[in-house]
Amino acid sequence: MKAPVAVNGYGTIGKRVAEAIRQMPDLELKGIVKYTPDYSVLVAYRQGIPIYVPKGKEGVFEEVGVKPSGTVDELFGSVSLVVDASPGGKGAQNKRVYVERGLSALFEGGESPDVAEVSFSTLCNYRQALGKKYIRVVSCNTTALLRLICLLDRHIGVRKARAVIVRRASDPKEDKGIVNTVKLDPPSIPSHHAIDVKTVLPDLDIETVALIVPTTLMHVHVVHIQTKRSTSIDEVVETLSSTPRIVVLEGAKIGIDSTSKIVEFARDLGRKRYDIYENVVWRDMIKVNGDELTIVQAVHQEAIVIPENIDAIRAALRLAESAEETMRVTDKVLNVGLQR
């Protein structure tokens, strides 16, 4: 039997998580919650996704041609877990309902860490999340940093990490953002990313600085790591390539030297919405000097946390006992790492 799951908050992250759930052999998307009828609910309805709305709001949806499958109460009565992908801070408010109903819930990176029992990264602490009722999947930049750091730590050893995070200003669908400036985010050190990494790796020595630039496509990280022993570029590439969640691109050889070209590459490969689930590391931008390692990676903010959301559902519901077990399924179904 498939595990019944709902998605509450159908925006950038929620719609992608919902689509991924629908593809998984062990999960069933019972429905999504919508509060107001907009273009995204019309598309979801046409795709056959069951739409649940607050009691009394059915008529507003019917006016735009969407027949709800039932009320939010009915949906929550039929699932084991809710993925809460509402805007940052709203998940904590929604949690009251999940607690009252005894439902497990996933929260996203915009929530404060204390909303959940554990902050989650598949490659770092999958087992810690096993059977937990409330799990927070850390944000996009933190997910990418943690994948890199935990993998390098397991194979080579990480003494400390420093990162400059060049953040996209807004998502492509948004009509807001900066136009002609580079903004300190925040104007102090560390940015919230180091603090967030420490919710998963409390003992790590890490500092981060973040800047916002006028782009919507991807974030870019310049990461300096001191390893516990001397390493080499070949060993670093081999380590990073051991997971499909990180792709090492021979950028210079194939002419990919910008986020716009990565996006075009993903579009040419037929990735839906150009979603890039992987950390994209430039092979030519890896530099090693004894125990000093520099890596530059690009992060597609809209997509990178989707595999981790699926893994976190499996951890909460104990559908897979190890990171390897869940990743085998998630990565194959979502084609993470461009296996096919």
Whether 140 is catalytic is yes
| Pairing verdict, β 81-84 and 104-107 | parallel
Q: Which of 142, 231, 259, 326 is in the footprint of ligand X15 by CB under 6 A?
A: 142
Query: Any idea of the CA torsion for 166, 172, 173, 176, to the nearest 10 degrees?
Result: 50
How many angstroms separate the CA atoms of 121 and 145, rounded? 10
Tell which residue, 218, 211, 213, 209, has the closest CA to residue 181. 213
* Angle at 145 (CA atoms; ends 220, 330), nearest 5 degrees: 105
User: Least distance (Å) from ligand NAI to the CB of residue 22?
Assistant: 17
Q: Which of 110, 113, 157, 177 binds ligand NAI (CB under 6 A)?
A: 110
Q: Specify the stretch interacting with ligand NAI by CB under 6 A; choose among 106-114, 127-135, 228-236, 280-288.
A: 106-114
Task: Choose the contact partner of 167 out of ligand X15, ligand NAI, none; CB within 5 to 8 A by kind.
Answer: ligand X15
140 binds ligand X15 (CB under 6 A): yes
Q: Does residue number 199 form part of the binding site for ligand X15 (CB under 6 A)?
A: no
At 40, which helix (H) or strand (E)? Answer: helix 39-46
Burial of 102: CB neighbours in 10 Å, binned 0-12, 13-18, 19+: exposed
According to the annotation, is 139 in a ligand binding site? Answer: yes
In angstroms, give the least distance from the CB of 14 to ligand NAI. 6
SS3 154: helix
- Active-site residue, selected from the candidate residues 105, 140, 248, 317: 140
Contacts of 234 (CB under 8 A, 6+ apart): none
278 binds ligand NAI (CB under 6 A): no
Cα–Cα distance between 143 and 308 in angstroms, integer? Answer: 8
Is residue 208 a contact residue for ligand X15 (CB under 6 A)?
no
Q: Is 8 in the site for ligand NAI (CB under 6 A)?
A: yes
Contact between 141 and ligand X15 by CB under 6 A: the answer reads yes
Nearer to ligand X15, 136 or 167 (CB): 167
Nearer Cβ to ligand NAI (92/237): 92
φ, ψ of residue 310 to 5 degrees: the values are -65, -45
**Distance (Å, rounded) from C-alpha 232 to C-alpha 291?**
9
Closer to ligand X15 at the Cβ: 132 or 219?
219
Kindly tell me which residue out of 215, 279, 301, 330 binds ligand X15, with binding defined by CB under 6 A. Answer: 301
On whether 12 is known to bind a ligand per the annotation, the reply is yes
Q: Is 14 in the site for ligand X15 (CB under 6 A)?
A: no
What is the distance, to the nearest Å, from the Cα of residue 304 to the centroid of all Cα atoms in its chain?
Answer: 4
With CB cut-offs between 5 and 8 Å by kind, which of ligand X15, ligand NAI, none does residue 10 bind?
Answer: ligand NAI
Contact (CB, 8 A) for 285 and 233: no
Residue 85 lies near ligand NAI (rule: CB under 6 A): yes
> Which residues are the active-site residues?
140
Please report, as ranges, the residues that interact with ligand NAI according to CB under 6 A: 8-14, 85-88, 90, 94, 108-111, 139-140, 171, 301-302, 305
